[in-house]
């Protein structure tokens, strides 16, 4: 039996000492989403399996091989979400969001589950920040969305991230393209890998995505979608590029980007990191104008992206980008004796109510060990309370950095006022 002290393969813990890195990224995502008018959407971690079969597409690797699907005690087939888009669309339809002023803009921060072979940057439980926009066909919206992602990477100070874009057209022009692809690939059918032989039957565009060297070489000379775009799709793609240029976002057009999910139409894109090895896509997305209708709604154009948080953190590590550490403990109030312990507890709680981070001894340590602990947690100030301090109603506040000391009254309101003043003074001296 698996050890209960070992996490399942392909999952990761975020420990208390590291969680500030996640919180920093999450706050940056939220700020960026707000600046673009996106509000948070939260959907369940599991959905009915057929949502993903219909939404993501039953010929995709995700649906064919990677879903965590199980039967409930009631006999329903349920799947842990492998991505955020299908659930967002389901919620959009279920709550009639098309009645809200368009475009509807929603973002999410979620865990996703795919039964993939774990490797660096590829997990079975991973986390996405995603943005989805409903109700516009305008290419300015595609460029706006891509710009939002680009801004995030800029704000994080990431370098060596390239943006690749493509248009995979609409069902109309794609039909001709599929014919051309099938004609081209049929000549090589017997030499293709097993997956590609099945793709040729079921999902020919995915042939371009094959990583097997022999098949990849064949893909290089295959017909490319941009040559088959209908006038409307071509005009749309030109519009996206023009708006990206206007926004100062650098990109390259890569006609082999087809994406691994079935719902895309027209614009598709990927942001690739040059520093994290094979699993280099840190963010990907595109337009999916047919998905809402596919799931039973009235036609509703839509587009979105999702960024992988773990891969962003890996990229930041590889580039030596550090995240500001959380502010340390403001004050440690050491104490000796019953009355002093109670006073320390009371003063800490008063401070905490004003939003400060205060600690006292809840372990039962001696005074020396308490001060050692105060040093370890990087307390900026300390104070020692004993019988004398309680009797006099005054204690010495010590600035742990400069060693400077001053008397502080222990009476609640005066204490808070004078401590806050001492802290402000120290803040000013460290950061004038």
What is the contact surface with ligand HAM in residues (CB under 6 A)? 83-85, 114, 116, 121-123, 126, 128, 130, 132, 260-261, 281-286, 304-308, 310-311
CB of 195 to ligand HAM, least distance (A): 17
Give 127 or 380: the residue with its C-beta nearer to ligand HAM.
Answer: 127
Cβ neighbors of 264 (< 8 A, separation 6 or more) are 168, 286, 287, 288
d(CA 125, CA 123): 5
CB of 235 to ligand HAM, least distance (A): 22
Give 122 or 341: the residue with its C-beta nearer to ligand HAM.
Answer: 122
CB of 283 to ligand HAM, least distance (A): 5
Give 132 or 359: the residue with its C-beta nearer to ligand HAM.
Answer: 132
d(CA 161, CA 315): 9
Give 281 or 334: the residue with its C-beta nearer to ligand HAM.
Answer: 281
Buried b (16+ CB within 10 A) or exposed e, 40-75: ebebeebbebebbbbbbbeebbbbeebbebeeeeee
CB of 234 to ligand HAM, least distance (A): 22
Residues in the chain: 432
Give 118 or 409: the residue with its C-beta nearer to ligand HAM.
Answer: 118
Give 158 or 374: the residue with its C-beta nearer to ligand HAM.
Answer: 158
Q: How many alpha carbons lie under 13 Å from residue 230 in its C-beta half-sphere?
A: 11
Q: Exposed, middle or buried by CB within 10 Å (0-12, 13-18, 19+), for 420?
A: middle
R_g of the chain computed on alpha carbons? 28
The beta-strand segments (E) located in 212-368 are 252-253, 265-273, 281-287, 302-308, 331-335, 358-360
CB of 311 to ligand HAM, least distance (A): 4
CB of 131 to ligand HAM, least distance (A): 8
């Amino acid at each position: 039996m698996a050890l209960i002290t070992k996490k399942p393969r392909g999952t990761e813990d975020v420990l208390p000492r590291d969680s500030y890195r996640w919180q920093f990224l999450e706050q940056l995502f939220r700020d960026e989403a707000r600046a673009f008018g996106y509000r948070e959407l939260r959907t369940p971690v599991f959905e009915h399996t057929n949502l993903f079969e219909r939404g993501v597409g039953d010929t995709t690797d995700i649906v064919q091989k990677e879903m965590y699907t199980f039967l409930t005690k009631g006999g329903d087939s349920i799947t842990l979400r492998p991505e955020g888009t299908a659930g967002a669309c389901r919620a959009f339809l279920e709550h009639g969001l098309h009645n809200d002023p368009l475009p509807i803009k929603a973002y999410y921060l979620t865990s996703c589950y795919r039964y993939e072979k774990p490797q660096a940057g590829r997990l079975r439980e991973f986390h996405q920040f995603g943005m989805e926009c409903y109700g516009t066909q305008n290419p300015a919206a595609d460029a706006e969305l891509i710009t939002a992602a680009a801004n995030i990477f800029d704000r994080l100070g990431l370098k060596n991230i390239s943006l690749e874009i493509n248009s995979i057209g609409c069902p109309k022009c794609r039909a001709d393209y599929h014919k051309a692809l099938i004609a081209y690939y049929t000549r090589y059918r017997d030499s293709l890998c097993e997956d590609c032989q099945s793709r040729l039957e079921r999902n020919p565009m995915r042939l371009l995505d094959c990583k097997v060297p022999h098949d990849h070489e064949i893909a290089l000379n295959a017909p490319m979608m941009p040559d088959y775009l209908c006038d409307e799709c071509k005009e749309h793609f030109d519009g996206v590029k023009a708006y990206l240029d206007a926004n100062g976002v650098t990109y390259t057009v890569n006609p082999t980007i087809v994406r691994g999910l079935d719902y895309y139409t027209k614009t598709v894109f990927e942001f690739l990191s040059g520093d994290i090895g094979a699993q280099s896509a840190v963010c990907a997305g595109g337009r999916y104008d047919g998905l809402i209708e596919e799931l039973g709604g009235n036609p509703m154009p839509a587009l979105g992206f999702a960024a992988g948080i773990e891969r962003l953190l890996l990229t930041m590590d590889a580039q030596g980008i550090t995240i500001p550490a959380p502010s340390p403990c403001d004050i440690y109030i050491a104490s000796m004796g019953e009355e002093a312990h109670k006073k320390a507890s009371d003063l800490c709680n008063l401070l905490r109510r004003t939003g400060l981070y205060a600690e006292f001894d809840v372990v039962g340590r001696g005074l020396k060990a308490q001060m050692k602990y105060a040093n370890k947690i990087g307390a900026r100030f300390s104070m020692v309370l004993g019988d004398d301090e309680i009797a006099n109603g005054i204690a010495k506040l010590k600035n742990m950095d400069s060693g400077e000391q001053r008397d502080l009254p222990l009476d609640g309101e005066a204490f808070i006022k004078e401590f806050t003043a001492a802290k402000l003074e120290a803040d000013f001296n460290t950061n004038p």
